[in-house]
């Protein structure tokens, strides 16, 4: 069976009905619509407007929003197949960003405009600040899909979420991209007024865009990792050398096994983080949760797996894997890009390490087992 269709929840129980519906819809759509030709056209500078309209028609951008706000009231576990599919099929869309932006805006009691919507967390990647009177000043670097989005959801560490019109005069865009050719722009704000500002409290989450953005990227990395493994296994079974498939050689088998093990660890860590995210959204404001610890672990595992997997996949494919004509680069360029977005594995590992040091010898084991360092 195609690995794209294999999904298990963290406790290996059967997926919910909503989760199954979402998974079936997105897998069928992406499998039909995202072809190598579509990805090549995207690399050549053509957008994916038609594909965006199709995901919008399925209601995916607002899936995490409550029903009273026009969403599907899906949980993080319910929408995880969407995030995974974005990675597996290399979807060139601002879908994950719009899903999270819609969730944060709706929970802050703000109107959610039609997407796509981008995300910004103040205090990271720039000096952007949201003033008490609702104005934005400063710069934000590597903003995903900024030039394709009219709106941005901007969150700060004080629990505020602002809806900002990026087409207004006080906002200018400096274009940029990541390794995969996806838009990662620099935005300059000169006393740009927010359309609306609301208050957001999610358990003990202080930086929701940064934390949940890392969770999204971890899920997308897992999908891309599984795609790279599928490609490597298929090629190893097809490519013959010295009279037999190269997948029969022990050295190749060992590399693929190491790759599969790292992906398995990333997949499980991500599923744990998804469940913690569900619990954090249901918890009372200010209560303690393990979501920060679990997301940090998931991003570390997914980022480290991406580094290993890209190396192994290209070694297995040999020279052909480095050609533009082969499809492997669509996946590996995204792995190289996404592993660093919303915090690299090294940055999240440093956060865990600093927390462990601060806990000291007496508090280390309890903090580790309770996942609240």
Q: 206-249, pLDDT tens digit by residue?
A: 899 999 999 999 999 999 999 999 999 999 999 888 888 888 89
H/E stretch holding 43: helix 36-43
pLDDT per residue over 47-76, tens digit each? Answer: 889 999 999 999 999 999 999 988 889 999
Residue ending a domain, among 174, 199, 224, is 199
Residue ending a domain, among 199, 224, 246, is 199
Tokens representing residue 22 in the block = 């979402």
Total count of domains within the chain: 2
What average pLDDT does the chain have? 92
Is 24 found in the same domain as 172?
yes
Is 228 found in the same domain as 357?
yes
Boundaries of domain holding 115: 3-199
Say what the pTM is. Answer: 0.93
Q: Is the peptide bond before 80 cis (omega within 30 degrees of 0)?
A: no
Cβ burial, residue 303 (10 Å; 0-12/13-18/19+): buried
Tokens representing residue 290 in the block = 């393990």
Taking residues 3-28, what's their average pLDDT? 68
Share of the chain above pLDDT 70, in %: 96
Identify whether the C-beta of residue 203 lies closer than 8 Å to the C-beta of residue 283.
Answer: yes
Q: Count of CB atoms within 10 A of residue 190's CB?
A: 12
**Dist. CA 152–CA 298, nearest whole Å:** 26
Residue 87 has pLDDT above 80, yes or no: yes
**Dist. CA 310–CA 350, nearest whole Å:** 23
Quote the pLDDT of residue 13.
Answer: 57
Residue 332 has pLDDT above 50, yes or no: yes
Tokens representing residue 187 in the block = 């935005």
Is 122 found in the same domain as 84?
yes
Quote the pLDDT of residue 320.
Answer: 92
Share of the chain above pLDDT 90, in %: 77
Is 299 found in the same domain as 252?
yes
Identify whether the C-beta of residue 225 lies closer than 8 Å to the C-beta of residue 305.
Answer: yes
Residue 11 has pLDDT above 80, yes or no: no
pLDDT per residue over 164-217, tens digit each? Answer: 999 999 999 999 999 999 999 999 999 999 999 999 878 788 899 999 999 999
> What is residue 120's DSSP assignment?
E
């Amino acid at each position: 069976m195609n690995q794209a269709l294999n999904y298990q929840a963290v406790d290996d129980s059967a997926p919910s009905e909503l989760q199954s519906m979402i998974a079936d819809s997105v897998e069928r759509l992406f499998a039909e619509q995202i072809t190598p030709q579509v990805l090549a056209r995207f690399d050549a500078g053509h957008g994916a407007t038609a594909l965006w309209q199709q995901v919008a028609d399925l209601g995916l951008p607002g899936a995490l929003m409550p029903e009273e706000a026009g969403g599907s009231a899906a949980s993080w576990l319910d929408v995880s197949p969407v995030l995974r599919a974005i990675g597996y099929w290399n979807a060139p869309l601002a879908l994950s960003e719009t899903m999270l932006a819609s969730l944060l805006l709706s929970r802050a009691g703000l109107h959610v405009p039609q997407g796509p919507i981008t995300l910004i967390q103040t205090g990271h990647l720039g000096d952007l600040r949201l003033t008490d009177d609702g104005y934005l000043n400063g710069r934000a670097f590597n903003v995903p899909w900024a030039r394709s989005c009219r709106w941005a959801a901007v969150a700060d560490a004080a629990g505020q979420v602002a809806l900002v019109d990026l087409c207004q005069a006080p906002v200018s865009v400096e274009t940029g991209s990541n390794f995969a050719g996806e838009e990662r722009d620099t935005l300059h704000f000169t006393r740009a007024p927010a359309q609306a500002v609301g208050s957001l409290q999610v358990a003990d989450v202080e930086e929701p865009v940064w934390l949940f953005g890392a969770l999204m990227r971890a899920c997308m990395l897992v999908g891309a990792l599984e795609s790279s493994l599928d490609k490597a296994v298929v090629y190893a079974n097809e490519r013959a050398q010295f009279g037999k498939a190269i997948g029969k050689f022990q050295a190749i088998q060992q590399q693929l096994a190491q790759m599969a093990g790292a992906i398995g660890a990333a997949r499980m860590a991500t599923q744990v983080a998804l469940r913690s995210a569900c619990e954090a959204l249901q918890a009372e404001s200010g209560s303690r949760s393990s979501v920060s610890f679990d997301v940090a672990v998931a991003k570390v595992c997914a980022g480290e797996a991406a580094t290993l997997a890209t190396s192994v996949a290209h070694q297995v494919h040999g020279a052909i894997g480095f050609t533009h004509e082969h499809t492997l680069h669509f996946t590996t360029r995204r792995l190289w890009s996404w592993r660093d977005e919303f915090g690299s594995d090294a940055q999240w590992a440093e956060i865990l390490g600093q927390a462990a040091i601060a806990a000291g010898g007496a508090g280390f084991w309890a903090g580790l087992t309770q996942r609240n360092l």
